[in-house]
Structure 1
Amino acid sequence: MKKNKIHFKGVDYKALYTDLIKKKCPDKMGLCEGILKKEHVSVLDAIKLNDILFPQQTIGNERINQKHKSYQEEDIREILSYQKLHNLSNSQIALKFKMSRNTVTRWKRIFTPE
């Protein structure tokens, strides 16, 4: 008997944040329209949306939320290209995206050709 494989395509951030904004904070729809009009909303866009919707987070909440973040290869490459484009160090990019410098270093080792 053959098993059907289900391929995970990733999170539909556009639908997720559209529903969230409609239910929780419809007054902020205007601030988020530019990002939500895009055909594909990336992880970086989702981080921007999250910062717009929830600007003040406590350090404890940030740490808890950070533990649950995951990035696909496309997202990692986008973050690394952002780093290169803006000439940022590993520490600077780690601070910007609230992640570990070790994570950035590991990604560069894996995804950057030598």
Structure 2
Amino acid sequence: MQKPNYKKIYEEILKRKKIKKKINDKMSIKDVLKISKIINPNNQDKNQKHKSYDLDYINYVLNDQLKHNYTNTEVANKYNLSRNTITKWKKNFNL
């Protein structure tokens, strides 16, 4: 019989406590992405086809790009988006 993996058990408990503090009724996409990173820190989404973003988050990303003078590639890497997505947002929102 194998011994329980206590490290994994305690890590899960700590993750859940962190998540419970952050969950509320009015969560933004930024909150959801933070919680997703807490749950799966090493897991990169293989299929990003079904991601969706609200207008506030799009403005946040584009304003961050303007404020720090990032290229589309730098912003895409920072926020785990595609360069085409950034270009599309800039085109649609006339930035």
Task: Tell me whether the two structures share a fold, i.e. TM-score over 0.5.
Answer: yes
Structure 1, unaligned stretches of length 5 or more? 1-24
Aligned to 2:16: 29
Distance 1:89 1:30 in 2: 37
Q: Does 2:69 correspond to 1:87?
A: yes
SS in 1 for 2:76: helix
Aligned to 1:43: 29
Give 1:1-114 correspondences, 5 Å limit: 25-32=12-19, 33=21, 35-36=22-23, 40-57=26-43, 62-64=45-47, 66-113=48-95
Distance 1:29 1:78 in 2: 27
Q: Which has the larger radius of gyration?
A: 2
Question: Where do 4+ consecutive residues of structure 1 move more than 4 Å?
Answer: none
1:45-65 deviations in Å (ceiling 9; x for gaps): 21111111101115xxx222x
Asked which structure has the greater RCO (Cα within 8 Å, sep 6+), the reply is 1
Aligned to 1:20: none
Deviation at 1:26, TM superposition (A): 4.1
Deviation at 1:36, TM superposition (A): 3.2
**TM-score for both structures, normalised by structure 2:** 0.67
Structure 2, unaligned stretches of length 5 or more? 1-11
SS in 2 for 1:67: coil
Aligned residue pairs, count: 83
- Structure 2 counterpart of 1:100, which letter? S
1:21-51 deviations in Å (ceiling 9; x for gaps): xxxx443134342x436x6321122111111
**TM-score for both structures, normalised by structure 1:** 0.58
